[in-house]
Structure 1
Amino acid sequence: MTPLLGLTGLRSRARTAADVDALSGPSGPPPTWATLGELTSPLAAARLVGAVPRLASARRGDGHLVIDIPGWRAPELSGAPLRAYLRRLGYDGRGWGFGTNTGDPRRDVERLSARVLDLVDAAGAPASLVGWSLGGVIAREVARRHPDAVRRVITYGTPVAGGAAHTSIARAYGRGAGVDADAAKVARRLDARSPISVPLTVMFSRRDGVVAWQACIDRATPGVEHVEVSSTHIGMGVDPDVWAVVAERLAASSS
C-alpha cells in the first residue's frame, strides 16, 4: 500500500540520505536506461494532483525572498509552477531574471550575484536560492561569494563537480566535447579554500537520466544535507516531493 501511495503522490518518496560517504563516486554519464526513463517525466506532474493535500498543509512562509534558477537550456518559465507554489505559501518567489539558462556559469554567477545583492539590499534581509541542475551550480557559487546575502541554498539534480563528464551530454557528444577537464580540480580547490558556509540541501535521484546521481553528492561542504527523491531529471521541476522538501527547508530557515 505504501508504494502505491507514493506512486500517486499521496505520500512522499523523499528520504534523508545520512551516510553519503558510503555511496560510490561518479564514473561517467548516467546509465542508458535512466536516460531513456526521462521520457516518463510528465508523470511527475500527475503526482501533483494526489499531493495537493500535503503540499497545501506546508508551513506558511515568512515572506522572505526566494530566487529560482533554471537548469541548462531551460527557460525561466520552467520554474514558474514552483514559484507560484512558494508565493502561495507566503514567500516572495521570483525568477532569476535572465531568461533561458544558456550555459555560461561564469558569467551568470557574476550577474546573478549583482542582482541578488540589489534585491537583498532593497528587501533588507538575505534571500534563499533554489537551483535546478546547472542552476544549482550557479546558486552554490553565489552563496560561496556572498554568504551574508544568502540564508539558504537548495539544489536538485545539480552536479557538484566534474562538469559535463557525468551527464548524458558526454554520451551524446563524447567526453572531449564541451567537457571542462579541470572542473573537478577547480571545484575541489574552491571547496578547500572557501567552503560554502550557508545551510545547503542537496536533492538527488537514482532515476536521474541527465546527471549521474553520484555526481550530485557533496562530500566537501560542512553540514550539507542530502535528500534522495525518486524522479527523473526533467520531472524534478514538477515533482511534489521536491516541492515539499523546498518548502520544509525554507520554513526551517525562517524559524
Structure 2
Amino acid sequence: MSQLGLVTPGTPAPPRDVLRQPLRKLLGQAFRTRQTPAGHLYEGNGQPVIVFPRQHTGPESTAGLRGLLAEAGFRPHDWGLGDGAGARRMGLSRWLRKLEECVIDVFEVTQEPVTLLGWGLTGIYARELAKRTNPLVRQVITLGTPFNTAADPQRQCKLMAMLDTGPERLPLAVRQRLRQRPPVPCTSIYSRDDGVVRWEQCVDQETADSEHIEIAGARHEELATHPRALEVITHRLAQPEGQWRPFAADGRATLHA
C-alpha cells in the first residue's frame, strides 16, 4: 500500500467492504432527499432511533412511522414495552430505570448513539432518558409533549396527570426537573390545534441546540403521520452526527454537506 492509500502492484487487494467505507462515510456527510406519497423525506444511512408510542397505545400506533423510517434508510426500534402503563403502576423513577435497558440494548446492537422519539407523554420519558443515558443518546425529538410544566401551574394537563396519579405524586421539584432540557439536541414538534395538550406546554426558550417547530392544523393523533412532521423528523435523523443545526425558519431545511 503506498503512502497515498493506493494499491501498489503485487499488494493483495483489500476486502471490498473496506473499499466501501470511505464512500459510506462521504455519503453520510450529505443529505439525500426524495419525494414520496408521504411528502418530502430525507434519506438515512442506518441511523438508529427508538420510537415510543403515544399514550394509551402500543406499538401499533407507531407501526406506520417505523415502517416509513425503515424504508427511508433509518433503523427504527419499538421500545418493546407495550402500552407503557407501567409508569402508573411503579412510578416514574422505577419506570425510567426500566426504559434505560431499552436504550442500552439498542446502543449495544448498533454501536451508535441513538435518537429518542417520543409522542405525547412518552416524550417526557425520552427527555428524561436522554439525561440519564446521555453518552448513548444522540438527540431527542418529541411530538406534542407537554414538558414545560411552568405553563400548567394548576396541573390541568391530562397527560401529566397520568404521572401525578401513580404511587408517587410528582412533587414540585420533579416537575421542575422535567422542564430542564436534556444535554443533547432537542426538537419539539407541536400544533396549536393539538386538542390534547396546550401548545404553550410544548415550547420553552430556544437555544443553539434546541428548537420548536409548529405543524399548523395537526391534531395530537396526527403528529406522527403529518407530511410536514415526517419531513422534519427525517431531516433531524439524517443530519451527520455532531453537526446538528436547526430546521430553517422559512419552512425548508437548509442542506449542509
Normalising by the smaller structure, the TM-score range is 0.5 to 0.7
1:186 to 174, 187, 206: 174
Aligned to 1:152: 139
Q: Is the Cα contact below 8 Å between 2:148 and 2:179 reproduced in 1?
A: no
Matched residue count:
198
Could you tell me how far 1:246 is from its partner in structure 2? Answer: 0.4
2:213 to 210, 227, 235: 227
Give the 3-state SS of the residue equivalent to 1:237 in structure 2.
Answer: coil
Aligned residue type for 2:203: I
Q: Which has the higher contact order (CA 8 A, sep 6+)?
A: 1
1:107-146 to structure 2, matched below 5 A, reads: 107-146=94-133
Q: Is the Cα contact below 8 Å between 2:39 and 2:227 reproduced in 1?
A: no
Q: Is the Cα contact below 8 Å between 1:191 and 1:220 reproduced in 2?
A: no
Aligned residue type for 2:184: V
Could you tell me how far 1:169 is from its partner in structure 2? Answer: 6.5
CA distance in 1, matches of 2:55, 2:171: 16
1:38-93 CA-to-partner distances (Å, cap 9, x unmatched) read: xxxxxxxxxxxx972733xx232010211100122111110111101100111111
Q: Is the Cα contact below 8 Å between 1:125 and 1:149 reproduced in 2?
A: yes
Could you tell me how far 1:189 is from its partner in structure 2? Answer: 4.0
Change over 3 Å in CA distance of 1:208–1:122 after alignment to 2: same
Q: Is the Cα contact below 8 Å between 2:39 and 2:228 reproduced in 1?
A: no
1:92-118 CA-to-partner distances (Å, cap 9, x unmatched) read: 111111111226143432112112112
2:196 to 210, 214, 227: 210
Structure 1 residues not aligned, in runs of 5+? 1-49
Could you tell me how far 1:165 is from its partner in structure 2? Answer: 2.5
Aligned residue type for 1:218: D
Q: Is the Cα contact below 8 Å between 1:166 and 1:211 reproduced in 2?
A: no
Give the 3-state SS of the residue equivalent to 2:141 in structure 1.
Answer: strand
Aligned residue type for 2:213: V
1:187-235 CA-to-partner distances (Å, cap 9, x unmatched) read: 424666xx41111000111001111111111348763111011211112
User: What RMSD in Å do the two structures reach over aligned CA positions?
Assistant: 3.0
CA distance in 1, matches of 2:208, 2:182: 8
Give the 3-state SS of the residue equivalent to 1:67 in structure 2.
Answer: strand
Could you tell me how far 1:183 is from its partner in structure 2? Answer: 5.4
Could you tell me how far 1:153 is from its partner in structure 2? Answer: 0.6
Aligned to 2:37: 52
TM-score of the two chains, using structure 1 as the length reference = 0.68
Aligned residue type for 2:189: M
Could you tell me how far 1:181 is from its partner in structure 2? Answer: 7.0
Q: Is the Cα contact below 8 Å between 2:127 and 2:182 reproduced in 1?
A: yes
CA distance in 2, matches of 1:139, 1:239: 21
Change over 3 Å in CA distance of 1:103–1:60 after alignment to 2: same
CA distance in 2, matches of 1:144, 1:178: 24
Structure 2 residues not aligned, in runs of 5+? 1-34, 244-257
Change over 3 Å in CA distance of 1:90–1:205 after alignment to 2: same
1:130-186 CA-to-partner distances (Å, cap 9, x unmatched) read: 10001100000110111110101100110114389243569xx9xxx8398755542
For the pair 1:89 / 2:72, whether they are aligned, the reply is yes
| Divergent runs of 4+, >6 A | none
Aligned to 2:252: none
